Chains A and B, each alone.
Chain A
Amino acid sequence: MKWRRGGFGAALCVLVALAACTNDPYPEADTGKKLLYLPFDEPPKTLDPQVAYSTIDHSVIGNVYDTLLEYHYLKRPYTLIPGLATTVPTPQPLADGRVSYRFQLREDLLFQDDPAFGLDGPGIRTRQVLAKDVAFSLARIADPEVNSPVFETLAKIDGLRDFSERLKKLRAEDPAFAQRRIDEQYALAGPISGVRVLGPLELEIVLSESYPQILYWFAMPFTTPVPWEGVATYDGRDGRDLFSEHPTGTGPWKLVVYDKRLRIALRRNPNWYGIRHPEWRAPGATYPRAGESSDAEAGRLVPSTVGRALPFLEGIEFRREKESIPSFAKFLQGYYDASGIIKESFDRVIRNGELSPEMAARGVSLSKSVLPATYYLGFNMDDPVVGREAGEQSRKLREAMSLAIDSKEYTRLFTNGRGIPAESPIPPGIFGYEADYRNPYREVDLERARALLSEAGYPGGIDPKTGAPLKLSFDSPDTSAAALLQFQFFVDAWRKIGLDVSIAATSYNQFQDKIRRGAYQIFQWGWVADYPDPENFLFLLWTPMGRTHGGGPNTANFSDPSYDELFLEMKARGNDERRLELIRKMRGILEEERPWIELFHPESYLLAQGWLHNEKPPGLSIPTAKYLDIDTAQRAELRSAWNQPIRWPAYAAAGLGLLVIVPGIFTYLRERQ
Chain B
Amino acid sequence: MWAYVVRRLAYSLVTVLGVLFLLFLLFFLVTNPDDIARKAVGEKAPPQALEQWKKNHGYDKPRFWNPEHPTDSMLVDHFRRMLTFDFGNSDADDTPIWRRLRSGAGPSLSLSLPLFTLGLLLTISLGLLVAFFRETYIDRMGVILCVLAMSISTVLYIIGGQYLIARVLRWFPISGFDPSPSVIARFLAVPVLVGLLSNVGDSVRFYRAVFVEESSRDYVRTARAKGCGEARILIHHVLRNSLVPILTQVVVAIPLLVMGSILLESFFGIPGLGSITVDAINANDFATLRTMVYLGSLLFILGQILTDVSYTLVDPRVRLE
Residue of B whose beta carbon sits closest to that of A260: B93
Q: Does B75 contact A (CB under 8 A)?
A: no
Query: Which residues 44-86 of B have a CB within 8 angstroms of A?
Result: 44-49, 52-53, 56
* B249 on interface, CB distance cutoff 8 Å: no
Using CB atoms, name the residue of chain B closest to A552.
B46
B170:A245 contact, CB within 8 angstroms: no
Residue from the set A24, A147, A649, A664 with the largest chain B CB neighbour count within 10 Å: A147
A654 to chain B minimum Cβ distance, whole angstroms, is 14
Interface residues of A in 29-83 (CB under 8 A from B): 42-46, 53-54
Residues of B within 8 A of A322 (CB): 266-267, 269, 275, 278
Residues of A315-337 contacting chain B, CB below 8 A: 319-323, 325-327, 329-330, 333
Q: List 23 A-B contacts (CB under 8 A).
A: A22-B171, A22-B186, A23-B174, A25-B187, A46-B93, A53-B44, A236-B96, A242-B95, A244-B93, A259-B271, A323-B175, A325-B162, A326-B162, A326-B175, A333-B174, A551-B46, A553-B44, A645-B169, A646-B168, A650-B171, A661-B138, A664-B138, A668-B133
Asked if A23 and B46 make an inter-chain contact with CB atoms under 8 angstroms apart, the answer reads: no
Contacts of B6-61 to chain A: CB distance below 8 A: 30-32, 34-35, 40-42, 44-49, 52-53, 56
Decide yes or no whether A414 CB sits under 8 A from chain B. Answer: no
Of residues 14 through 29 on chain A, the ones whose CB sits less than 8 Å from some CB of chain B are 18, 21-25, 27
With a cutoff of 8 Å between Cβ atoms, the chain B residues found around residue A261 in the complex are 103-104, 271, 275-276, 279
Could you tell me which A residues sit within 8 Å of B by CB distance? Answer: 18, 21-25, 27, 42-46, 53-54, 144-145, 147-149, 151-152, 236, 242, 244-245, 259-262, 319-323, 325-327, 329-330, 333, 507-509, 512, 530, 551, 553, 643-647, 649-650, 661, 664, 668, 672
When C-beta atoms are compared, the residue in chain A nearest to B168 turns out to be: A646
Among the stretches B176-184, B236-244, B250-258, B295-303, the one at the interface with A is B176-184
Residue in chain A with minimal CB distance to B132 = A668
Q: Are A148 and B49 in contact (CB under 8 A)?
A: yes
Contact of B315 with A by CB under 8 A? no
Pair A329/B167 contact, Cβ less than 8 Å: yes
Question: What 8 new A-B contacts, CB under 8 Å, besides A23-B170, A45-B92, A320-B271?
Answer: A27-B180, A149-B42, A152-B48, A236-B96, A322-B267, A329-B166, A530-B44, A646-B170
In the assembled complex, the CB of A282 is this many whole angstroms from the nearest CB of chain B, namely 31
List residues 133-169 of chain B with CB under 8 A from any CB of chain A. Answer: 133, 136-138, 159, 162-163, 166-169
A45, A148, A333, A672: the one contacting B40 at CB < 8 Å is A45
Tell whether A323 pairs with B173 under 8 Å between CB atoms, given A27-B178, A664-B133: no
- Main SS of chain B's interface residues? helix
The proximity string for B residues 215-246 relative to A, scoring 1 for CB distances below 8 Å and 0 otherwise, is 00000000000000010000000000000000
Chain A nearest Cβ from B251, distance in angstroms = 28
In the complex, A392 Cα to B171 Cα: how many Å?
69
Contact A43 B93 (CB under 8 A): yes
Task: Decide if B213 is an interface residue (CB 8 Å cutoff).
Answer: no
At the interface, yes or no: B172 with Cβ under 8 Å from chain A?
yes
Q: Closest chain A residue to B56 by CB distance? A: A147
Contacts of B31 in A (CB 8 A): 509
Say yes or no: B269 contacts A244, CB within 8 Å.
no
Question: Chain A interface secondary structure, helix, strand, loop or mixed?
Answer: loop
Assembled-state Cα–Cα distance A319/B270 (Å) = 11
Given contacts A147-B41, A147-B56, A261-B279, contact A23 B35 (CB under 8 A): no
Shortest Cβ distance from residue B81 to the other chain A in the assembled complex, whole angstroms: 18
Q: Give which listed residue, A151, A262, A508, contacts B177 with CB less than 8 A.
A: A262
Check A329 against B48 for contact (C-beta < 8 Å): no
CA distance A429 to B34 in the complex (A): 34
Bound-state Cα–Cα, A321 to B93, Å: 19
- Provide the residues of chain A in CB contact with B266, threshold 8 Å: 322-323
A70, B264: Cα distance in complex, Å:
42
Within the complex, what minimum Cβ distance (angstroms) separates B143 from chain A? 15
Give the complex CA separation of A244 and B94 in angstroms: 9
| Complex: A325 Cα to B267 Cα, angstroms | 9
Top-5 shortest CB links A-B: A261-B271, A149-B45, A25-B173, A25-B176, A53-B42
Residue in chain A with minimal CB distance to B268: A326
* Contact-residue size bin, chain B (C-beta under 8 Å from the other chain): 35 or more
CA–CA, A664 and B135, complex, Å: 13
Alpha-carbon distance between A171 and B267 when the two chains are bound, in angstroms: 47
**What is the chain A residue whose CB lies nearest that of B279?**
A43
- Are A152 and B46 interface neighbours, CB within 8 A? yes
- Check if A149 sits within 8 Å of B49, measured CB to CB: yes
Q: How far is the CB of A1 from chain B (nearest CB, A)?
A: 16
Q: Which residue on A lies nearest to B189, using beta carbons?
A: A21
| A319 contacts B40, C-beta separation under 8 Å | no
Report A348 CB to chain B, min CB distance, Å: 14
Which A residues lie within 8 Å of B279 (CB)?
43, 261
The CA-CA distance from A526 to B268 in the complex, in Å, is: 33
Cβ contacts under 8 Å, B271 to chain A? 259, 261-262, 320
- Pairwise interchain contact B172-A326, C-beta atoms closer than 8 A: no
Among B34, B104, B171, chain A packs the most CB atoms within 10 A around the CB of B171
Given A23-B174, A322-B269, A325-B159, A46 and B45 touching (CB < 8 A)? no
A544 CB to closest chain B CB (Å) equals 13
Q: What residues on B are CB-neighbors of A242 within 8 Å?
A: 94-95
- Choose among B103, B267, B271, B282 the residue with the greatest number of A CB atoms under 10 Å from its CB: B271
Q: How far does the Cβ of B52 sit from chain A's closest Cβ, in whole Å?
A: 5
CB distance from A650 to the nearest CB of B (A): 8
Set B40, B48, B174: member contacting A326, Cβ < 8 A: B174
Q: Is the CB of B162 within 8 A of A643?
A: no
B52 near A645 with CB under 8 A, answer: no
Q: Is the CB of A147 within 8 A of B44?
A: no
Contact B49 A151 (CB under 8 A): yes
Q: CA–CA, A302 to B187, complex, Å?
A: 40
Q: Cα distance A260–B283 when bound, in Å?
A: 14
Cβ contacts under 8 Å, A259 to chain B: 103, 271
- Measured CB to CB, the closest approach of chain B to A659, in angstroms, equals 14
Kindly state the separation between the CA atoms of A509 and B38 in the bound complex, as whole angstroms: 11
In this complex, the member of A27, A44, A326, A551 whose beta carbon has the largest number of chain B beta carbons within 10 angstroms is A326
Q: Given A27-B180, A323-B266, verify A330-B93 contact (CB < 8 Å).
A: no
Kindly state the separation between the CA atoms of A145 and B52 in the bound complex, as whole angstroms.
Answer: 8
Q: Are A333 and B32 in contact (CB under 8 A)?
A: no
Closest chain A residue, CB of each to CB of B133: A668
Q: A245 touching B48 by the CB < 8 A rule?
A: no
CB-CB contacts below 8 Å: B76-126 with A: 92-96, 103-104
- Nearest-Cβ distance from residue A646 to partner chain B, whole angstroms: 5
Cβ B35 vs Cβ A508 within 8 A: yes
Complex CA gap A244/B166 in Å reads 36
Within the complex, what minimum Cβ distance (angstroms) separates B306 from chain A?
30
Q: How far is the CB of A362 from chain B (nearest CB, A)?
A: 15
